[in-house]
Amino acid sequence: MNSKTDDLLRQFELADAADRSVSTYSGGMHRRLDLAMSLMGNPPILFLDEPTTGLDPQSRIAVWEKIKDLVKDGRTVFLTTQYLEEAEQLADYIVILHKGKIIAEGTLEELKKRFPPAKVEYVEKQPTLEEIFFALVDGKEDAQ
């Protein structure tokens, strides 16, 4: 392997599995490998089609962080997703499609301004299942 390959395998936490057949990789590992391979030629523009579909919460967050890093490094990333939370977290500019037609586009702030303002209500916020998962996993990893 060359240094670029080694570097990408380390970045995507695949170095320990480098000598294994890709057919033995988990779904999350496949997604990370796809993203790593797309970066081999240092492309200035990336097209990512639902890069986090089927990933566990930790892998999903890791892919989000990598996408954010790519944008910080000056790359343009076109991302398709059905997860609206993902679009809110990652997109600078959003295009909403419905039945194959663009029905809205703009920044998140622009889109929010086009609709009625949020209502102010008192709601007791319970932790989400994702927050519970990370609290459990983070606690166990710290104990080891």
pLDDT at 141 over 70: no
110: Cα separation from own chain's centroid: 22
Question: Whole-structure pTM over 0.75, yes or no?
Answer: no
Cβ 48 vs Cβ 78: under 8 Å: yes
CA dihedral defined by 22, 18, 28, 139, rounded to 10 degrees? 150
| CA-based max dimension of the chain | 57
Q: Comparing 23-32, 41-50, 66-75, which segment has the lowest mean pLDDT?
A: 23-32
Tell me the per-residue pLDDT of 104-124, one tens digit each, with 9 for 90 and over. 999 999 998 888 777 788 888
- Predicted confidence at residue 84, as pLDDT, reads 87
85: Cα separation from own chain's centroid: 10
Show me where the domains of the chain are located. 3-143
Considering the four listed CATH numbers 3.30.465.10, 3.40.50.620, 3.40.50.80, 3.40.50.300, the one that applies to the domain covering 3-143 is: 3.40.50.300
Neighbours of 49 (CB within 10 A): 10
pLDDT at 95 over 90: yes
pLDDT at 140 over 70: no
Average pLDDT, stretch 100-105?
92
Average pLDDT, stretch 53-58?
83
- Predicted confidence at residue 139, as pLDDT, reads 65
Q: Which residue has the higher pLDDT, 28 or 47?
A: 47
Cα 122–94–127 angle (5° rounding)?
Answer: 30
Residue-averaged pLDDT of the chain: 86
